[in-house]
Chain A
Amino acid sequence: MYYLLKRYKDKLYYYMVDKNWGVGPEYHRYVDSHQEEHRNKRWKSWWILVRLNWHYRILRKKTALMYKIESKSRLPYMHGAESHILNHIEAHYFARDLLTYDVVSFDVFDTLIFRPFSAPQDLFYIVGERLNFNGFNNTFYSLRRNAENVARDVVEKKRGCREINIYDIYEQLSRYTNINVEIGVKTEIQVEEEYCFANPYMLRVFNILREQGKRIIITSDMYLPATNIEKILKKCGYDGYDKIFVSCDYGVSKARGDLYKVILNEIGKDKKIIHIGDNRISDIKKSQEYGIESKWYPNVNHMGNKYRADNMSKVIGSFYAGLINAYLYNGIKRFDFYYEYGFVYAGLYILGMCKWIHDKVNADKVDKIIFLSRDGALYSKVYNRYYKNVDNKYCYWSRMANMKYVVVKRNYKEFIDRFVIYRINDSHEFNYITMESLLESLELRFLIKKLPKYDLTINTPVLKENKEKIIKFFLDHKNVIEKNYDSEKNYIISLYKKCIGTSKSIALVDVGWSGHNLLGLKYFIHNEIDPNIVIKCWMACEKSAINNKDLLCKNLDAYIFSSINNKDFPDKFHNKRNSKFNTPFFEIVTQESTPSFCGYGKNGEMKFDIPIVEDYSINRMMEKGVLDFCDIYYKFSSHDIYLRNIPGRDAYGPFSFAVRNINFIKNNFSNIHISFNIGSDNRQQKVESFKEQFKLDWK
């Protein structure tokens, strides 16, 4: 009967509250900020619910009734760096202002310490896993939350207050499950201790106050008793405070205000006390009602959640968002936008990919990884930081090298298409290159003297009007061109021989997309070096849309998506949205601060494309963001390393969220350069910027 009633109640709640995009967020926010009233005068909450339903459902209003709420579709922060939003004063100034008080009181959770989750209760997912409680419709997560509510109701009936401790919760939980109270409590406390970490901003404030000899107290509404909270605080570096006041020990709370009364009685009413916390009601309003001054410290998750990707799985999504929110909003530092871009939108994919590589190395018994330039540079850095379980090298290869040393001989049509036809512009209206520039970029300058025979000159624009002549020119010189590139081949052979060494099973790693570069290099190694080497080709994304043998046999594999895995990504989003730009946007972050490799010269000197030095500082900034994110994610996931198994879908989540509104990219990346073609305009030393491409494609 109980379960039947509960089922109807849940269904009703869902239809009245959660189902509507506007009612749910506003109602939850109202209840969160009026918890005391919600318990004692429930009818008030119901009245609000009726009004909200009238507003959104009957009147079909699109504007909020009480609070500013998120639009239906979340967007990333569109106005620059998120860490600049709050404009926190520097921590030492914050501390200095507190020195005039006799006693400084700190709230604990979301003030002194953080949990790496976007909502505190998401920690229960981890507890459930530790208790090995899975395989049911009633998840540990929901049972644990429900048990807390029931425990509060029970205690209220018994003792007249709703302050409970963790044993009360697990006793309720043990009524419906086989979870032993002691084990449950111990597990949850252990998870709290392992996952909680210090808010660096408040840690600095705390340390300053302590060194200045200020009297510090800790005040918390929590079901964990003081001894446990003390232990957590100590692990986080908080030591040397005077006293700790926890609601469950005193049977009174900050939310009701009576915990402040206890503090005043114990500390002394004549003392000038200030309390710092994140909850506007229990930390700020209620303390003030008792004559205690207060300072509000914004809750990092309330601030950041609205800008976090909403397309990720529950646990990874919450862990990722919690870390990002805590990092960007705690106030200790402000970051550059490009740093944040690397941190927020790319770090997860790169760390996830390196773990994926690590697992595949073991599964496929690979004895060497070759990370290919230039995207491979960042993969290699991250891989070597955390997963260096096999010998690996960073090696030069590129679209240009593939064309010169592989494609030209095997498929001259492709060579002409990629090198020549793709670079032919329609009209003079747009930037175009000259024949001299084209030949120079292909290292074919020696063919200039042959141009007049084809009614071409060095200044002839590479335009549609000259297409036929240009193609004929290249077709007639096929053998010379092949021979020319062939003379450089030995240097590449020597490079890769040295790189491969004695390895018998190697993996080539690149960012994507068609797999041509990887398959080209694989062909090159088999034909020129050793046909018996087992070669795996791994990349972040594959979008050739062909189910070739290599893909099906897993010789070619992609972490995020491919023609046979997560196919909806390329089909519905990556290849469909934002014109042709999603691929270059995705690659922005792995642009190393070096020019692209073009192959070897006649004397064995390495040749490079135009160095886009003006972008280097931005590239470095993004890379630093990625590396810092990886460090943090890796560090905080050390207790449950399964959190490092980031699914490709989750890894792609932040990126697809970032490009949900193209203005995010347009506003911030327009001046970044990216080579859409193979080979740049050497004469003018020019590489296209996104801005120029935007003008062309979205004019």
Chain B
Amino acid sequence: MILYHAMSSYQLLEVIVHKCLFNNKKFSILCISLDVVRRLKNYLDLKNFFDVLVLYDNGIGNYSILQGRDFQSYFDGIFQEADIDLKNLEEIYLACAHHSFGIYVAEKNIPFIYFEDGAGAISRPEVLHRIESKFKKKDELCLELGLYDGSNPNIKKCICNFNYQKKNFTPKKNYEHFDLYDELSKLESVDRDLIIKLFTNIEYITIDKKDSVLILTEHFANLRVITWEEQIFLYQLYVDYFLQNKKLIFKTHPDDLMYYKKIFPESQIINQKFPAELLPFLFKKKPDIVSTISSTAIYGLSQCFDKFLVFDYNFTKNKEFYHLHKYYAALKIISFMKKDKYNIISYGVDSVILNNFRSLEEFKNLENYKIAEKKNLDDLKSDKNIIIFDSSSDDINDSRKICEFLLTLSDNTIVIFLNTDHKFCFYNYEYKRIWKNIIPVCIRKQRLSKGDWNTFETVDEDRKFFDEYIYFFSKRGIKMENHIEKRTLPYSGMDIEIITFEDKDLQIKRLEGILAATEKRLLYYIHKEENK
């Protein structure tokens, strides 16, 4: 007799496939949270795969609610009632071991087989730790019990996908490779159809246009990573910059409530709640590209599609999407400069965004550039570099170091400061002469429409539409055209224009005055601190 445990639709799919392929004849029990069961059309169909179903309240999963004995006794009671002794089972297969049932089994020192939480998760335990850190007690316990990285001594075997681990990953002896897509493909089509029917009544998905892209969404606002308005803006920018003129197909995350159809009226929405891994088997003709911001589900699908586009968690967590205009402008100006023999080096910027931009057709002329990511200022000093630079430090010593570094650069080097946090890391009073070589470039935004006429505006218009600046530094000076680019971002509701300045006059005089006054005040504080 064996037992499988699952906490999400993905895990349920994973354990069903595993059961069908490796334990088909064995008497099996499925221990599953009510939350997953509620999402199924008919949960009794699970009986097609398992002999006994044990359902539990997933509220128990929030370990901070029920603690210690209550928590243990809850599962004790469930299994007593079902007349199951966990110690007598042949095997326990635990998907989502870092949840309540996993903790229960681990604390009882019962040996079990561990499924990694998602494709590639075993080599990235920090991701689970980050997600669970809001449940402090539970998080501490999982770390202590080794349930994030599969290091618990009771783990007999660890089932994971070797293809999507971190670069330097070496599987341990008790690791076993399991690729959900491959294993699903191995199933008889009758069995596979039975599984698909368990999750969805969609028989197949047709796409009525070429050049289509499948977008796997995430529930950022639901997790409070960003606000609802920000999630809308994020996807608008994402589509405008990277997926313009493509047929959009959204596969929504089960907890994502966003109204994509309203935002992208031409798009196709798949909002039935089923694991994304089933998608390759539902498309009559597969989309050309699969994309996501940071959903790990893409790893399980990338081999089924020709191209894939993915960012990372920082894109939302650090709100990097707000700075897309700056990345775009920097690359656009570089592509206009036609500096063929130059290297592009990134320092302190999000290289994933940079590379995703560069892979666009629009930046085809940058194809020959290799974007190298450097972490030390000393590594940036070679000749003929274009350095895309960012720093969020406001430490006066850091700005001094950066200014000193700028003075050591060759005449041929160009530095582009994205200044995303508005910290002006390249400004230091002692080195203010550097500003003579600074060229501000403005990214001006023009609203395309007046916003919602029938209600109050809910977006942060200032953050969305304010003028942004990036700063170029070159000892030799850079010749730039006055107007470099105008681009329409239809879903984001704006035109952006990259412009440089000529008319200095009054504005500069004013700025100099204000700056001088500000410096005066800063100096006062500095002297005050020094005299303490």
Contact = CB atoms under 8 A, between A and B. Distances in A.
Interface string B421-463: 0000000000000000000000000000000111111100010
B257 interface: yes
A658 B136 CA distance: 44
Contacts of A635: 453
Contacts of B521: 610-611, 613, 685
B454 A198 contact: yes
A611 B455 contact: no
A382 to B, nearest CB: 15
A606 B457 CA distance: 39
Contact of B228 (A92, A210, A606, A624): A92
Contact of B271 (A199, A212, A332, A595): A212
B257 A594 contact: no
Contact of B458 (A212, A332, A608): A332
Nearest to A395: B506
A444 B384 CA distance: 51
Interface string B22-45: 000000000000000000000000
A616 B260 CA distance: 38
A611 B518 contact: yes
B228 A613 contact: no
Interface in B287-313: none
A628 B460 CA distance: 11
Nearest to B455: A198
B271 A685 contact: no
Interface residues of B, number: 30
A610 B517 contact: yes
B286 to A, nearest CB: 25
Contact of A605 (B457, B458, B512): B512
Contact of B455 (A90, A197, A213): A197
Given A92-B222, A606-B510, A632 B456 contact: yes
Contacts of B520: 610, 685
Contact of A208 (B259, B462, B509, B512): B259
Nearest to B461: A628
B257 A212 contact: yes
B517 A611 contact: yes
A610 B517 CA distance: 6
Contacts, number: 88
B483 interface: no
A283 interface: no
Interface string B403-430: 0000000000000000000000000000
A541 interface: no
Interface string A194-214: 000111100110011011110
Nearest to A686: B524
A210 B221 CA distance: 18
A686 B118 CA distance: 59
Interface string A603-631: 00111111101000000000010001001
Interface in A332-365: 332-333
A235 B455 contact: no
A632 B453 CA distance: 10
B524 A211 contact: no
B261 interface: yes
A595 B514 contact: yes
B228 A90 contact: yes
A237 B271 CA distance: 22
Given A605-B512, A611-B517, A236 B228 contact: no
B59 interface: no
A89 to B, nearest CB: 12
A630 to B, nearest CB: 13
A406 B512 CA distance: 26
B348 interface: no
A95 interface: yes
B455 A607 contact: no
A211 B269 CA distance: 9
Nearest to A595: B517
Nearest to B450: A635
Contact of B257 (A92, A333, A607, A613): A92
Given A197-B454, A236-B454, A606 B509 contact: yes
A609 B222 CA distance: 47
Q: Which of B269, B453, B517, B520 has the most CB of A within 10 A?
A: B517
Given A90-B228, A204-B228, A610-B517, A631 B221 contact: no
A203 B456 CA distance: 11
A606 B511 CA distance: 9
Interface in B235-270: 257-262, 269
6 contacts: A197-B455, A200-B456, A237-B455, A332-B458, A608-B513, A611-B517
Interface of B: 221-222, 228, 257-262, 269, 271, 452-458, 462, 509-510, 512-514, 516-518, 520-521, 524
Given A212-B271, A605-B513, 17 more contacts: A90-B228, A96-B222, A210-B259, A211-B260, A211-B269, A236-B455, A327-B456, A330-B456, A595-B514, A595-B517, A605-B512, A606-B512, A608-B514, A608-B516, A611-B521, A628-B457, A632-B456
